[in-house]
Amino acid sequence: MKILILGCGTSTGVPLIGCTCRVCSSTNLKNKRLRPSILVSENNFDILIDTSPDLRTQALKLNVKNIDAVLYTHTHADHIFGIDDLRMFNYLKKNDNKFIPVYASETSINFIKDKFDYIFKEKSESSKPYLVPNVIKDALEIKPGIKITPVPVFHGKNLIYGYRINDFAYITDVSSVPEQSLGLLKGLKVLMIDALRYNPHPTHLSIDEAVSVAAKINPAKTYFTHMGHNVDYDEIAEMCLCKAGSLIPSYDGLSFEI
């Protein structure tokens, strides 16, 4: 399984518009973070998690030319507003079935169908993505050898989804993980988790909180994502080395295999 980080920034991205702090002004490319999204590839099947507003930029920058399925964690703007860019992936498909299945909680699917209703109308005057909405509640094998398990987590007061795909889990925009969900994450090889900033936040894990959650799950490796402009890449990389070699900060364009 290959993981490609399309974006590991916050809802604002990094740098922030108009900000001149040392991270936003940094020349280190690892401090340039687009909105959060990843591509998971296994058995010639490519799964996109979330369609950020930067999807077009991410696909062009990282040469992404195929998407076979989309998983949505929740419906905040930084996770869904790139949905219209999926139509180019429909056009690129060479087989007769150009439709892309999308999976999310029932709440998220209903929201997406309501807010982007032109996509799901049988007839539309607009050029549109060809998508098939699917409510996911329990683990399913999306393709032989690829098991996807939705992992309910709290994003402030909202219950949203993280996802476990075989021995990898992606949990962004999380402030706490229920005990039952921790059980769904046993035996992970790699965890990717929200680590917004050093100070506490009401709807996201701080870096120390992310370290604490990772310790409960105990994967072989943990990658931090959804990092804000308070986090300098070189500083957090050094901190992770001091704490444990199994903690790793992400950066846009990072890829690794499991």
Under 8 Å CB-to-CB from 160, ≥6 apart: which residues?
73, 74, 105, 108, 152, 153, 154, 173, 174
- pLDDT value of residue 94: 77
Mean pLDDT of each 10-residue bin along the chain, 258 residues long: 98 97 97 98 96 98 97 98 96 85 98 95 78 97 96 97 98 97 96 97 96 95 97 93 81 97
Geometric angle at alpha carbon 132, from 105 and 1, rounded to 5°: 75
- pLDDT value of residue 242: 67
Radius of gyration, alpha carbons of the chain: 18
Domain ranges of the chain: 2-257
* CATH code of the domain occupying 2-257: 3.60.15.10
Q: How far apart are CA 9 and CA 37, in angstroms?
A: 9
> What are the phi and psi torsion angles at 45 (to 5°)?
-130, 125
- pLDDT value of residue 125: 60
Residue 200, SS3 per DSSP: coil
Please give the single-letter amino acid code of residue 41. S
Tokens representing 80? 């869904």
Q: 28 exposed, middle or buried (CB, 10 Å; 0-12, 13-18, 19+)?
A: exposed
